[in-house]
């Protein structure tokens, strides 16, 4: 299956060509961990065109505020917070305004002027003082996530880490086929997320109506067993159509409901809306009547 490599990077014009990448899902049985086995990391480019800001949505703002309160309850005032992959800086700005944490961020797609954000990736050469490292919707984008966490361990020492990712169980239970994307390399069940650590899990749970899963643990308790199981397997190939047997019926239902409409409008042009349209196009259903998509993010 070919999917757009970075659906959150809108094209500058209708004449532009969206890069496509192959998706072949596979599951590590021991880890209960799913990834795109056909990934080419060079195809997913995160730059100024990447528009992933959620700060225009009251629901997402409330979700970010809930995360901040969770962290404030566990870490004392003036703790050092490092957000890796802070995007456009929405959550970091909220943290800074709140004043509880001494916070800094890193992201290559950042476009603001906040001196607390560095527009770059972290490297093995970095050494940072941190009490809590925050990864909000970052780890699902990173191939071999256990190796990336080892890098963070070398950079930030014995800091705690907060990881938030889409909940794979919720995706399957709700037949949310539009949540499978090329840029999301990894998919974590609760077991898979817990398997990243060999202990010292301070908290784990669900957010945003069950759509997101989080964990708070110690970077000094990363599990070596995850890497061993990742390399040794076994891996089972997953069939996308079998994972989402309701996909065709759901799109056909929308098509029937809109059968008398000359124009159809999609409410929301973030990843979910874009991927819904991709699957309409793959089936040549409804797509010819789409006028445009509506999104509250002006970057779209």
CB proximity list for 227: less than 8 A, separation 6 or greater: 146, 147
Is the N-terminal amide bond of 174 cis, ω within 30° of 0?
A: no
C-beta of residue 26 within 8 angstroms of C-beta of residue 238: yes
C-beta of residue 182 within 8 angstroms of C-beta of residue 8: no
Q: How far apart are CA 81 and CA 100, in angstroms?
A: 10
Q: What is the pLDDT of residue 47?
A: 59
Residue 157 gets the label, from left (phi > 0), alpha (psi -120 to 50) or beta, of: left
Q: How far apart are CA 140 and CA 192, in angstroms?
A: 12
Q: How far apart are CA 80 and CA 71, in angstroms?
A: 12
C-beta of residue 65 within 8 angstroms of C-beta of residue 88: no
* Count, residues in the chain: 300
Roughly what angle, to the nearest 10 degrees, separates helices 145-156 and 224-232?
Answer: 160
DSSP state of 297: -
Alpha helix (H) residue ranges in 27-76: 58-74
Domains along the chain? 25-236 (3.40.50.150), 246-294 (no CATH)
CB proximity list for 28: less than 8 A, separation 6 or greater: 34, 35, 229, 230, 233, 234, 235
In the numeric block, which tokens belong to residue 27?
Answer: 């599951």
Q: How far apart are CA 64 and CA 53, in angstroms?
A: 12
Alpha helix (H) residue ranges in the chain: 58-74, 90-98, 145-156, 168-173, 190-194, 224-232, 240-243, 247-257, 271-282
* Residue written as token pair 């566990």: 74
Q: Give SS3 for 20.
A: strand
Q: How far apart are CA 250 and CA 124, in angstroms?
A: 46
Profile the chain (300 residues) by mean pLDDT over runs of 10 residues: 85 83 97 96 70 66 92 97 92 95 92 87 92 96 96 96 97 95 95 93 93 96 96 95 95 91 90 92 92 85
Q: How far apart are CA 21 and CA 7, in angstroms?
A: 11
Q: What is the pLDDT of residue 176?
A: 95
pTM for the model stands at 0.90
């Amino acid at each position: 299956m070919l999917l757009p490599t970075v659906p959150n990077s809108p094209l500058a014009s209708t004449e532009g060509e969206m890069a496509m990448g192959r998706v072949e899902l596979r599951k590590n049985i021991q880890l209960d961990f799913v990834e795109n086995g056909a990934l080419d990391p060079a195809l997913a480019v995160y730059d100024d065109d990447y528009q992933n800001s959620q700060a225009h949505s009251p629901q997402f703002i409330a979700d970010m505020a809930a995360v901040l309160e969770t962290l404030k309850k566990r870490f004392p005032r003036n703790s050092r917070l490092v957000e890796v992959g802070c995007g456009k800086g929405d959550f970091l700005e909220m943290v800074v305004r709140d004043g509880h944490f001494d916070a800094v961020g890193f992201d290559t797609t950042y476009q603001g002027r906040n001196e607390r954000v560095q527009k770059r990736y972290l490297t093995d050469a970095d050494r940072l003082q941190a009490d809590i490292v925050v990864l909000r919707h970052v780890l699902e984008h990173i191939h071999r996530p256990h190796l990336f966490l080892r890098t963070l361990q070398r950079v930030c020492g014995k800091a705690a880490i907060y990881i938030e990712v889409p909940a794979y169980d919720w995706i399957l239970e709700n037949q949310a086929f539009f949540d499978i994307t090329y840029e999301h390399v990894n998919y974590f069940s609760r077991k898979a997320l817990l398997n990243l650590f060999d202990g010292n899990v301070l908290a784990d749970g669900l957010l945003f109506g069950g759509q997101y899963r989080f964990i708070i643990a110690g970077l000094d308790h990363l599990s070596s067993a995850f890497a061993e199981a990742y390399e040794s397997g076994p891996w089972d190939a997953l069939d996308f159509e079998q994972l989402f047997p309701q996909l065709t019926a759901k799109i056909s239902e929308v098509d029937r409901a809109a059968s008398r409409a000359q124009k159809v409008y999609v409410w929301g042009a973030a990843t979910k809306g874009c991927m819904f349209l991709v699957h309409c196009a793959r089936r040549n259903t409804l797509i010819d009547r789409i006028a445009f998509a509506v999104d509250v993010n002006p970057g779209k």
